[in-house]
A and B are shown apart, each in its own frame.
Chain A
Amino acid sequence: MISKIVKSGLTRRTFLKSTAVTAMSAGLPGASLAAGKTIKIGFLAPLTGAVAAWGKPGLDGCQIWAERVNAAGGIKLGDGSYSVEFVSYDNEYDPAKARTGATKLIREDGVSFIMMLGGDTWPGVQPVADKTGMLFSTLLPSDLSPDTSTLIAPAEVHPIYNVTGVEWLAENKPELKTAVMCAQDDALGLPSVATYLAAFEAAGIEMLDEPLLFDPATTDFAPVVTRLISKNPDIVCLDTCYSDYVHPIAEQLFQQGFKGQIISCTADFYDQMIAKTSEEFMEGFVFQFPDFDDPALNGDNINFTDPNGFYAEFNTRHPGQWGAVSWEYASIMDLWKAAAEKAGSASPDAVAAAMKEGKGKHAFGDADWWGTELFGIDNALVGDWPVVAIEKGKARIKDFRSIPDWYARHGDLLVKHMKAYDQMWDQRS
């Protein structure tokens, strides 16, 4: 159907009209035509290349999610149950390829929703989103702006949740007084730098040097680390470095004899880091992404279905591949499924409207749609976020902290640093 529409020239109106007709037909009495029907969901993220660690494990998690949902009867819309199928496109973290992928997923595969990593790739996709009205999700709310009405950030408010780790450190290890930071100089690194600077300032931790921004093409981290630890800091902050950087930096910190505290947004494949360094060296490494076999995820506040079972299944199929995003895209699908079932339709407009009614069932607890001040639009779902530390070689949740509470107290600091790095939505060119 979509191909017929687009042959005569695709507009947002014709696309939405077609989805509305589909949605209306779903409500016809006795029209139980859904048997054997499938809803396709697009997965548009890097599956190869340097950023693949934030795409591929997410797709693997989604396959498990789809099997679980299909086994439980699928997605129940107005006209019956639909099975769900993921269609992926490797955008290689390239905006041009992301545009091609979005075109394929919408106009050829007929997907109802597209999940992205976001970042550099979103601006390439935005014209396609504007033209088609397709609902997209991103893991990076810094993609949000008043122009991105069909883009939501329901899984994580990167990098704002990083404040919770610093806040926890300051409360639990008050002897840590000084910090240094490094980050790759790109769309992921810079907003995170601003966030950590705000968090350190709020916590009364002194920055000994300007954040060290390295080129994403860097492969030798020895000089980076040498400069970082030359001022003898209590804390080395690895910002939101890709796992391809976190590993060699941690290795260099170990080899150059750093004994202090390390904090990072992610510690994907931390078992490999322990293997390259030592269990003692990695003890107390603080980051933000838990393993889902953590007992703390069995609480009533957690909305992610059977996190322990999901983690076990993931590790059976993809041993050693669990990472920050393994559960995130699946958790977005939980939200999407709930919204589609509430709306009785998979139409992008209907799902988006249903999703934003009231509180959102975020993986780590009920959360609010938020973001006008930072992103110019309330399309980010914000609530509690876990602080994770490595203990005896295993990641363990130490606490859940409220991001909105921190922002209510220190939001002005975050805005100040975001502005200094030109990261506010109205500063992005």
Chain B
Amino acid sequence: MPKFLIWVAVLAALIALPHGLSFSQQEILVFLTINVLLVASYRLLTLTGEWSLAHVVIMGVGAYSSALLTKKLGVYVPVSMLLGGVVAALIAVLLSFPLFRMKGFYFLIGSFAAGEIIRLLWKRFRDPFGGAKGIKGIDPMPDFSIGFYQFDFFEPTSYYYFAGVIVAFCLWILWRIEKSPVGLTFHAVHWQDKLAQASGVNVRAYRTLAFAIASGFAGISGALLAHYVGTINPNAFDIDLMVFVLTWAIVGGTATFYGPILGCVVLTVLNEIVLRELGLEQMRPLVYGAIMILSILFLPNGLESIVQKLTKRRAAKSAPERSPAE
């Protein structure tokens, strides 16, 4: 099947998807879509070899910025979402000055500390951040019509379409960045940093660039979340959610663009739908943890390795079939 038709089929499936789900599953789909952008943006940072523990807090920076811009300054919601991403990227640039004096494990711990400082600032300054209770009554995305479809953003289906378009566009940009010379340089910075440096690559600048871009998109995901749920607080961006993001990335695998997305989708469906439907609601942390350990033990290269095996097998099968024609 030509690649174009595959993409059309995927698009049709994604458009039809919410109509085959229950209302609560549609809600979960909205949060899943937002989390896909969060984890995909996180992968961009990991391309340079650095794993941050501040990514979820940076997501929160986008959420707080966008919420405050609409509440205090009356900025139009879609514009504030974009600005939320910009503010998150700028904060990342600021953080990069102290953080990129460190590498590896030290960067990981440093990023955690930086994230906690931001969270504590949200708590400390009740004006404008709302303190521990955070901000509530955040303006929702204004409803609008495009003729054949009325967007009512209280409804999860409408917000899924809206968020889906934004997330798809952001994923396309992330994909283009990864495949561009800049993305290849990110890989070089990770695997051959001394060689890259010797070749004239400013390693620190590229790490900062990856951190800022990843943070910008994380900020947009935070803004999408804030304007849907209508409330944010510092605890919503704590280390618990960061552990989930790490888990999605590790279980999915970070060698491919789709690996972390796969991890996010599979684990979210498992945690939020399958285990709840099976009546294991209160045992979810236990079952989820067990599945995570098992997947790491038996799938050390992540869920993406299954896809890679399947696609290789298909390619191997189709190769001899093609050879006579050749």
Question: Which A residues are closer than 8 A to B by beta carbons?
Answer: 3, 6, 9-10, 47-49, 56, 88-90, 94-96, 99-101, 103-104, 107-108, 120, 123-124, 126-127, 131, 185-187, 189-190, 215-217, 422, 428-429
Contact = CB atoms under 8 A, between A and B. Distances in A.
A250 B97 CA distance: 42
Contacts of B154: 127, 131
A189 B155 contact: no
10 contacts: A88-B281, A94-B236, A95-B236, A96-B228, A100-B24, A103-B24, A107-B23, A108-B24, A126-B136, A428-B130
Contacts of B152: 9
Contact of A96 (B31, B126, B132, B285): B31
Contact of A429 (B31, B136, B239): B136
Contacts of B187: none
Given A428-B133, A429-B71, A429-B135, 4 more contacts: A9-B155, A99-B27, A108-B22, A428-B136
Contacts of B23: 3, 6, 103-104, 107-108
A350 to B, nearest CB: 25
B22 to A, nearest CB: 6
B257 to A, nearest CB: 26
Nearest to A50: B240
Interface in B260-301: 272, 276, 281-282, 284-285
Interface string B44-79: 000000000000000000000000000100000000
Given A48-B285, A123-B136, A215-B120, A100 B231 contact: no
Contacts of B126: 422, 429
Nearest to B68: A429
User: Is chain B's interface secondary structure helix, strand, loop, or mixed overall?
Assistant: helix
Contacts of B235: 120, 186, 216
B236 A429 contact: no
B14 interface: no
B225 to A, nearest CB: 7
Contacts of A187: 132-133, 233
Sort A-B residue pairs by CB-CB distance and give the 3 closest, nearest first. A123-B231, A104-B24, A123-B136
Contacts of B225: 96
Given A90-B284, A104-B23, A217-B239, A123 B132 contact: no
Nearest to A101: B24
B230 A56 contact: no
A189 B156 CA distance: 33
